Amino acid sequence: MLDNLTQRLGRVVKTLRGQARLTEDNIADMLREVRMALLEADVALPVVKDFIARVKEKALGQDVIGSLTPGQALVGVVHRELTELMGGQATGLNLATQPPAIILMSGLQGAGKTTTTAKLGKWLKERQKKKVLAVSCDVYRPAAIEQLKAVSAQAGIEFFPSHAGEKPAAIAAAALDYAKKHYFDVLFVDTAGRLAIDSAMMAEIKELHALLNPVESLFVVDAMLGQDAVNTARAFNEALPLTGVVLTKLDGDARGGAALSVRHVTGKPLKFAGVGEKLNGIEEFHPERMASRILG
Ligand code: GDP
């Protein structure tokens, strides 16, 4: 995960650690390396510029130049700023509401919404002993409904059946009614994705959001898409009150830039990372740990 970025920054960090004295000049050299590493990892340019400016400001402060081990101190600054860039604290899922806590899943087709729904459902069931129901409002692709049914069974969560031709809002209302009557703690609402953003999809998901008023509105995005992931996140964030982002396929050869840009661009926390096709391939996103992993 994030190998490219880790390798590049790792080299910078190694050189930095060895520096007995740091001057404005060699700080500038190091920052140029960090900048290149971030750009190569496909981090969005405005994010890189902002990041470098912040590190520079801190590094030129006394804490780095005046410190006994300035190289280490600069690594510390980069680590803290990386953590900050990815959102500082881990936030986790918010279920603090009158049950059922509704979690609305959005994203483009193929992003991993359905898989992530089952992964999170399994996670909540196993770790928090929650009673979980999942429903699909993707009335355009019967295969998507079948897929949610299959992965829900694998995950050991209950599936609320729906059918092509029904209205998404009617399905969601029926599932909510069922969840209330049967005392479910959590209701996942999986939605239709398209291959690209289109206004019909956005209008439909906005309607679902207004109807359900979910406590979590999670945008699922494929990390492999790099800059496109960030652009899609921006568009969904403008259309929908998102509460968080799930970045999938971080186990692939994604260059990892999306992990660093999405938070900055949307202002919404990265809550989970998908790290495999299997249903246990999900991790809570910890900015601090991720920064450590990136810096090696
Ligand atoms: P949806 O169209 O957004 O519902 O996407 P799916 O859940 O059907 O996922 C699309 C493909 O991506 C499937 O083949 C999944 O197995 C795969 N996938 C989803 N999440 C991950 C992940 O974190 N890692 C990997 N390697 N594959 C994933």
pLDDT tens-digit readout, 126-168 = 999 999 999 999 999 999 999 999 999 999 999 999 999 899 9
> What mean pLDDT is predicted for residues 12-25?
72
**Distance from residue 256's CA to the centre of ligand 1 (Å):** 17
Q: What pTM value is reported for the model?
A: 0.90
Which pLDDT score is estimated for 100? 97
**Residue 111 confidence class, pLDDT cut points 50, 70, 90:** very high
**Distance from residue 217's CA to the centre of ligand 1 (Å):** 19
> What mean pLDDT is predicted for residues 74-79?
84
**Residue 173 confidence class, pLDDT cut points 50, 70, 90:** very high
113 is in an annotated binding site: yes
Segment among 23-37, 80-94, 185-199 with least mean pLDDT? 23-37
**Residue 91 confidence class, pLDDT cut points 50, 70, 90:** confident
pLDDT above 50 (res 1) = no
Of all atoms in ligand 1, which is nearest to the CA of residue 111? Answer: 3
Would you say the CB of residue 10 lies under 6 angstroms from ligand 1?
no
pLDDT above 90 (res 21) = no
Of all atoms in ligand 1, which is nearest to the CA of residue 151? Answer: 7
First to last CA, the chain: 12
114 is in an annotated binding site: yes
Would you say the CB of residue 146 lies under 6 angstroms from ligand 1?
no
Q: Which residue has the higher pLDDT, 124 or 64?
A: 124
Would you say the CB of residue 112 lies under 6 angstroms from ligand 1?
yes
Average pLDDT, the chain: 88
Mutation to probe ligand 1, out of 105, 108, 115 (largest number of atoms < 8 A from CB) = 115
pLDDT above 80 (res 257) = no
Would you say the CB of residue 99 lies under 6 angstroms from ligand 1?
no
218 is in an annotated binding site: no
**Residue 295 confidence class, pLDDT cut points 50, 70, 90:** confident
Mutation to probe ligand 1, out of 2, 123, 277 (largest number of atoms < 8 A from CB) = 277
Q: Which residue has the higher pLDDT, 261 or 172?
A: 172
pLDDT in tens, 184-230: 999 999 999 887 778 888 999 999 999 999 999 999 999 888 788 88
Sign for the CA dihedral angle at 191, 270, 226, 123 comes to negative
Atom 6 of ligand 1, nearest CA residue? 112
**Distance from residue 286's CA to the centre of ligand 1 (Å):** 21
Would you say the CB of residue 69 lies under 6 angstroms from ligand 1?
no
250 is in an annotated binding site: yes
- The answer to whether 133 and 179 are in contact (CB under 8 A) is yes
Which pLDDT score is estimated for 292? 83
Atom 28 of ligand 1, nearest CA residue? 277
Which pLDDT score is estimated for 116? 98
pLDDT in tens, 226-253: 788 888 999 999 999 999 999 999 887 6
Atom 13 of ligand 1, nearest CA residue? 112
Rounded Cα–Cα distance for residues 189 and 208 (Å)? 9
Which pLDDT score is estimated for 94? 93
Residue 226 structure tokens: 């790099």
